[in-house]
Amino acid sequence: MLKLILATTNTGKIIEIKEKFNDGNINIESLLDYPEIPEIEEDGNTFLENSLIKAKAVLCYTHLPVLADDSGLEIYYLKGKPGIYSSRWGKTDQERIERVLNELKEASEEQRKARFVCVMCFVTPEGNIYTSEGICSGKIIFQPVGCDGFGYDPIFVPDGYNLTFSQLGRDIKNRISHRAIALKKIIPKLNNYFYSKIKNNNNI
């Protein structure tokens, strides 16, 4: 069976990606299935650089097609922070949320605009590289609400809604999120790639 490796250990990302790309012909694995792969240092300066670093490193180890997701939360009042440092902003989701709320404690409702960014890279052993970006704008509320999702979901209200990503739940998040948008753009590349593999294997 054809395989796609998700270059991530983040279970929240894995669930969301698998829900949107669930082609029955492809066995989707993640770094959780490859504990022997050492931690990848994300020392890029942009989401794109970090996404490519993860994708290429995992391709190097597995020699299989890889999809990487580098994402984060940009808060205007904090001049774009935490941005690429979103996962390093604290040790746990709770710590990271507390730090954001603390740094925004002087910020009024109008000053709490933020956006989630996701950059995906799909790389293949044949040397193809495809990238896509998704952005979801919204604001940071004053207290965490809701228990669905992961990361900063309990404090992020997307534009056009009055509920956090955590309250909205996966069905809505999977339609409007930064990850959903980036995936929608890159899925045709994945489909083309795997379709041509199936076609060649079957000599169609």
Pairing of strands 113-123, 66-75: antiparallel
Is the Cβ of residue 116 or residue 130 nearer to ligand ITT in the bound state? 116
Structure token digits, residue 188: 């045709």
List C-alpha distances in Å: 117 to 170, 172, 186.
17, 17, 15
List C-alpha distances in Å: 142 to 1, 107, 112, 135, 148.
47, 10, 9, 22, 18
Is the Cβ of residue 103 or residue 197 nearer to ligand ITT in the bound state? 103
Query: Could you list the active site residues?
Result: 70
Structure token digits, residue 49: 């650089």
**Interface with ligand ITT includes 122 (CB under 6 A)?**
no
**Interface with ligand ITT includes 9 (CB under 6 A)?**
yes
Binders in 33-92 for ligand ITT, by CB under 6 A: 42, 69-73, 86-87
In the list 26, 62, 104, 153, the residue contacting ligand ITT (rule: CB under 6 A) is 153
Residues of this chain that interact with ligand ITT (CB under 6 A) are: 8-10, 13, 42, 69-73, 86-87, 96, 116, 149-153, 177, 179
